[in-house]
A and B are shown apart, each in its own frame.
Chain A
């Protein structure tokens, strides 16, 4: 079973960094891909983006925000604990080439999977700009890492506590008007990716998004992750997760993501009761 080598709280109180011993996966994984994990025999399978890949050390890194039942349960796992199942690498890697000037837009903890993508794009000779947004400055993650990996970092916060006050699309529009870009990639909540895609459409710039639909197997078998792209049904797990943001039917994706809201709440409540779990303030 894959062992957790390192765990760090990277945003108080609920975002954790895990470095996991997974030599075979690390050998093959590329930025933009993901793994599916299952914590224990009764666990569900959830997809998690790769936040870092180190083939020399045989490790992969995951960033987990304790938001639901499984992610909160995972936040109780510590270094030296083992995760029952890790399956991957899954999905197609992000297409890396020399585009010229690229803007990466990350919302919330979507910045984490953008980090290895930023580094690969930089290595491929691109000028890399990142726009990272959060509700407030305390919710920003990976700022230092991105400062190191990118040529320019723009920060937006809803409350103006850091960087420009407002949402990422305002900063994106401004940046595009002033300096332009050859490619844009957005990772974060579906609603953010939708508005990023709408913003970039009038500029006619190719925009990739990394879709986070509900999945079970991650190998194309269940079809639960299906999305409508350019009027065609595609599977996020095998055809994606990256798609052309201008072609994605966002309303279908956002609606499908809500399928199990009630069950997720029920499962989380039942788990908290069983474990007398209290989120530390």
Chain B
């Protein structure tokens, strides 16, 4: 029977409706519109229901993928979301921002012959569908253990850790430095890729589970980890890699030069795209250059376009093949008219009357692969050129935020200032204190941080029941 079916299986994913590029260039609404129930059921038909599902191995939180897809195929969407929720707290988020092509979908058996099953799209469908009809009532919560856990940071790792621990009956209090919970999901990832109402919905589910969230609480300043440990049985640090890196080139402090963090925080968290209805302003360039090739760089350049930039350019020192950004996002950016200056590196930023006027770049030759496996770029002599721009956004990565590490005793850090924590447990050098996400690994993906939060929750639970 399987044989027969596989013969008829389409080699391409069921297409997903998207906003027209010409239209979406000037709005912040979501680009990918999501499957209808019919599309989802049709796509679910493609799943081979492998006995040894490799896709699950590729998922950092081990969602029971074939099972939830089968439920969608049968039209039982409630069952689908229940199955997903046994493993993941943020399916509406992951369905949108996970790099599925490098994870679950990479291992899909169908992918050997054609396109893999659109697991991410199906996950998103189930989550979105549930959001309209489901209020979290199905979540089973164990009876209270009487143990209290503090979660520092409400980004993907902290939220996931909170969810898993709350389900196990522990009392959870989340401390968030900003005025809104969600971390990078709120300040970093733009509305058009991850609508904020979705993040708010997931966070409200936590509140319904009696998880307390205290905003404006900068741990390390208002309260220290040392003080937290006097009042809580355990603590999870998920403060992220929030400190923007700059290149140290001439002109970097001119007006009109932003870190990607600042540019995106203004646009996302502070809603500067609706200035002056919202108070926070943002400079809208006619010509914008974004330096970097990761997802953050792509988010920034696409935000600049939506804010009204006439010309928006990515400057990246290696080739497209080496770009760390998701292929889908690069594709969307191209559709929206983003220009890619590849194998190009900035040399200095040129100013006039204190404002950015141009950026001087040099072309790069790609030489043999370095330790990261990517080809090492070397400046090509005499290839310098100037690009006239009025806004420059630096998106070359971030470092660890020092507020918690600096203010906590007995917490071991590595040479770069990241917290040293066990890979499978998140256990730090200090008893009862666990850590995970970007503050341990350096800037990575939402799902990797969620995976770390999940592992830490398991380890914290084991620690708590043995204390």
Contacts and interface: CB of A to CB of B under 8 A. Distances in A.
Q: Which of A70, A222, A233, A266 has the most CB of B within 10 A?
A: A222
Given A228-B253, A233-B248, A256-B253, A221 B279 contact: no
Given A86-B216, A219-B242, A226-B253, A267 B281 contact: yes
A62 B266 CA distance: 25
B246 A223 contact: yes
Nearest to B353: A255
Given A24-B223, A216-B270, A233-B252, 10 more contacts: A44-B270, A87-B179, A217-B178, A217-B265, A218-B218, A220-B243, A222-B244, A224-B258, A256-B253, A258-B255
Nearest to B278: A42
Contacts of B201: none
Contacts of B283: 259-260
A85 B216 contact: yes
Main secondary structure of the interface of B (DSSP, over half): loop
A64 interface: no
B177 interface: yes
Nearest to A259: B255
Interface residues of B, number: 40
B218 A90 contact: yes
A267 B221 CA distance: 32
Interface of A: 24-25, 28, 38, 42-45, 69-70, 84-90, 216-224, 226-228, 233, 238, 249, 252, 255-256, 258-260, 263-264, 266-267, 270-271
B216 A219 contact: no
A93 to B, nearest CB: 11
Given A24-B223, A89-B222, A263-B275, A221 B354 contact: no
A221 B253 contact: no
B261 A222 contact: yes
Interface of B: 177-179, 187, 215-216, 218, 221-223, 242-244, 246, 248, 252-256, 258-259, 261-262, 265-266, 270-271, 275-281, 283, 354, 401-403
A38 B278 CA distance: 12
Given A226-B246, A233-B252, A221 B281 contact: no
A233 B402 CA distance: 16
A266 B282 CA distance: 12
A147 to B, nearest CB: 33
B222 A88 contact: yes
A interface SS class: mixed
Contacts of A220: 242-243, 401-403
Given A221-B401, A255-B354, A233 B246 contact: yes
B354 A216 contact: no
Nearest to A85: B179
Contacts of B222: 24-25, 28, 88-89
Nearest to A262: B281
22 contacts: A42-B271, A44-B279, A87-B177, A87-B179, A90-B221, A216-B262, A216-B270, A217-B187, A219-B401, A220-B402, A221-B244, A221-B401, A223-B243, A223-B262, A224-B259, A224-B262, A226-B253, A255-B354, A258-B255, A258-B354, A266-B276, A267-B276
